[in-house]
Amino acid sequence: MTGRSVWKSVAAMVAVGVVVAVHDGGAVANADVGVGTRPLGCVPAMSTLQVIPPLPGLFLPLPSIRGVAEFDDLPAAPAGVSFPPGIELRDGAQGFNSFAEVALRDGSLYTRPRGSEGVWRKVPTPGCLDGQVAAVSVDGNMLVAADHNGWIYSMDNLLSGPMLWNWTFSYGGPIWLWPGEQVPGTGDGPVASSRWAISHRMSKSFEDAKGYNHPTQAGLVELVALSQDGSRITYQDPWLPADLSYEIGGPLGGRFVSESLSASGSVTFVMNRYGDMFTRKYDLDMAGSNHIPGRYTWQDQGPLPSAPDQLTERFNPAYAAISLPAEDWQAQPKIPGEITSRISIHVTGDAAENRELRVEGRQGGRTGYWHKDLRGPAWEFTADDQPLAGSPVQNPASDMSARTLVAPTGITFRGGLPGGWTLRFDDFDWAQTKHPATLTSPTGRDYPVQLYTTDGLRLLPRAAGLDDNPRELEGALDVREANPADDPELAGFVNAQLSGRPVYEVTVQATRSQLAVAALAATLTRD
């Protein structure tokens, strides 16, 4: 959640004292515990660069002191270490932004200016981490390295010269002060880096699901990762509790099984074992979970104009709010050729929609990568004649998404509403933003309706998924699909129980055994 102005005004006043306290206790304690149970002790909680506040991404980015000339001050890579002629794909062994390229070799990180043919040089790295990096991910102003135990180490100011690059092991709420987090699925090894990526949104605007354009003034950091079976997608935000409780509900109602993942600037890109691909523009702010900088609505807004800046949008209702629910997954066209599991996405412009997708592959006997704009209609191929690093992927021309679907959740919630109405959800998945439901009238007539939800903003850790601890979801019940204007019985329900609004805002308390909707005076129990 990096960059939110209100959070940061508070954080700037308390960060130095709190982080110093964490650092003073953390590094010393690390020497007394077993290897791998905490982040490496030489990486500080505060930062390796003490001249700026200890919150990575607080300034986006700091201006370079001497620009690309600062690369010349770094030690050259040892003779015999090989590098590609250019970095064109972002994965766990390499990455880039508009300023720098980074490559991982034998546990150490190397860099050079983006687009140059210059000498590869050593990234300044704390001594105990150098040689121990198992995977790396680069996006925007951030680099994240994972050691062999999955601990996350962040280096920011990557859009500035190397003199201002700085490291911290802090990650997670409150405001980056949690003493370290690990990449999800560390038991499977963080080297499985095609399954996680850092995303740092620094775009100046984004378009919501209804087509309204929204100005943004700051960035957002999240580490996005696949579950072991590939059907769940978690995100860890360094301003949120250090847990795995936040998810991006996956494609096809959460049943799509992803084999590969890449993320950049709040756009997540996934692919299954048959080359079927989906993308989604989604983060905590776009989802409607953070009311501090954002103003949201579930209602139709008509012809309201877009605000000239984020502050005006937040407080002036004469301009369009962010429309909810958030934009859904978008299916991408199949690639007309040979591909591997190595997929990549990166920023190409100032809007969140300015992204390019790349997939490693081969055409006409030459290796390279397929590429297209996020919203582009067709793929093109660029040859680079580099060895293929990904695993071969079956890629039939037809849509094979349904071949690998996981089973539905099997969770059915059913309960009565006032006036003899009932509401039922089949195969409920809390992480989805749209939940089809059946509303049944006292006369027995069924109406198809939708419940929209978004996960709430939390300050304390909680377990993943649904359990006995209520998960609070904000949302709205939408009965427009059933055409209440043409049905007197349904129109009576809308007037009596939804205050005349066919899109009725609600708060949902969800557990493994029940779904409580206070605004409807309803508690639905699990069948």
Q: What is the pLDDT of residues 458-493, one digit of tens each?
A: 989 999 999 999 999 999 999 999 999 999 999 999
Contacts of residue 409, defined as CB under 8 A and 6 or more positions apart, other chains included, come to: 254, 427, 428, 429
Q: Pick the closest to residue 110 from 89, 127, 124 (CA basis).
A: 124
* pLDDT at site 55: 56
CA 328 from chain centre, in angstroms, equals: 14
Q: Pick the closest to residue 202 from 332, 350, 88 (CA basis).
A: 350
* Separation CA 445–CA 489 (nearest Å): 9
Averaged pLDDT score across all residues of the chain? 90
- Strand 296-297, strand 260-264: pairing: unpaired
* Separation CA 138–CA 144 (nearest Å): 6
pLDDT over 70 for what percent of the chain?
Answer: 90
* pLDDT at site 14: 35
Element (DSSP H or E) covering residue 12? helix 5-30
pLDDT over 90 for what percent of the chain?
Answer: 80
* Separation CA 25–CA 19 (nearest Å): 10
Q: Is the pLDDT of residue 27 over 80?
A: no
Q: What is the mean pLDDT of residues 38-49?
A: 85
Q: Is the pLDDT of residue 386 over 80?
A: yes
* Separation CA 76–CA 111 (nearest Å): 9
Q: Is the pLDDT of residue 375 over 50?
A: yes
Element (DSSP H or E) covering residue 20? helix 5-30
Q: What is the mean pLDDT of residues 401-415?
A: 96
Task: Show the tokens assigned to 282.
Answer: 């989604």
Q: Is the pLDDT of residue 198 over 60?
A: yes
How sure is the predictor about 24, in pLDDT bands with cuts at 50, 70 and 90? very low
Q: What is the mean pLDDT of residues 348-353?
A: 96
Q: What is the mean pLDDT of residues 52-66?
A: 67
CATH of domain 5-188: 2.40.10.480
Task: Show the tokens assigned to 67.
Answer: 């620009």
Q: Is the pLDDT of residue 50 over 90?
A: no
How sure is the predictor about 66, in pLDDT bands with cuts at 50, 70 and 90? very high
Element (DSSP H or E) covering residue 369? strand 366-373
* Separation CA 420–CA 63 (nearest Å): 64
Q: What is the mean pLDDT of residues 357-383?
A: 98
Is residue 388 within 8 A of residue 367, CB to CB? The reply is yes
Q: What is the mean pLDDT of residues 147-165?
A: 93
- Using alpha carbons, list the distances in angstroms from residue 177 to 157, 180, 264: 18, 8, 24
pTM of the model: 0.92
Q: Is the pLDDT of residue 191 over 50?
A: no
Q: What is the mean pLDDT of residues 276-283?
A: 98
Q: What is the mean pLDDT of residues 66-82?
A: 95
* Separation CA 515–CA 526 (nearest Å): 8
Q: Which residue has the higher pLDDT, 56 or 374?
A: 374
Q: What is the mean pLDDT of residues 19-25?
A: 31
Q: What is the mean pLDDT of residues 411-436?
A: 98
* pLDDT at site 15: 34
Q: Is the pLDDT of residue 2 over 60?
A: no
pLDDT tens, residue by residue, 106-132: 999 999 999 999 899 999 999 999 999
Contacts of residue 43, defined as CB under 8 A and 6 or more positions apart, other chains included, come to: 126, 128, 129, 153, 167, 168, 169
* pLDDT at site 22: 32
Residue with token string 């502050």: 311
Peptide bond between residue 461 and the one before it cis (omega within 30 degrees of 0): no
Is residue 501 within 8 A of residue 468, CB to CB? The reply is no
Show me where the domains of the chain are located: 5-188, 193-233+252-404, 413-526
Q: Pick the closest to residue 214 from 318, 100, 129, 294 (CA basis).
A: 294
- Strand 522-526, strand 514-517: pairing: antiparallel
CA 178 from chain centre, in angstroms, equals: 19
* pLDDT at site 187: 53
Is residue 73 within 8 A of residue 371, CB to CB? The reply is no
* pLDDT at site 12: 33
How sure is the predictor about 59, in pLDDT bands with cuts at 50, 70 and 90? low
447 forms bridges with which residues in the sheet? 439
* Separation CA 461–CA 178 (nearest Å): 11
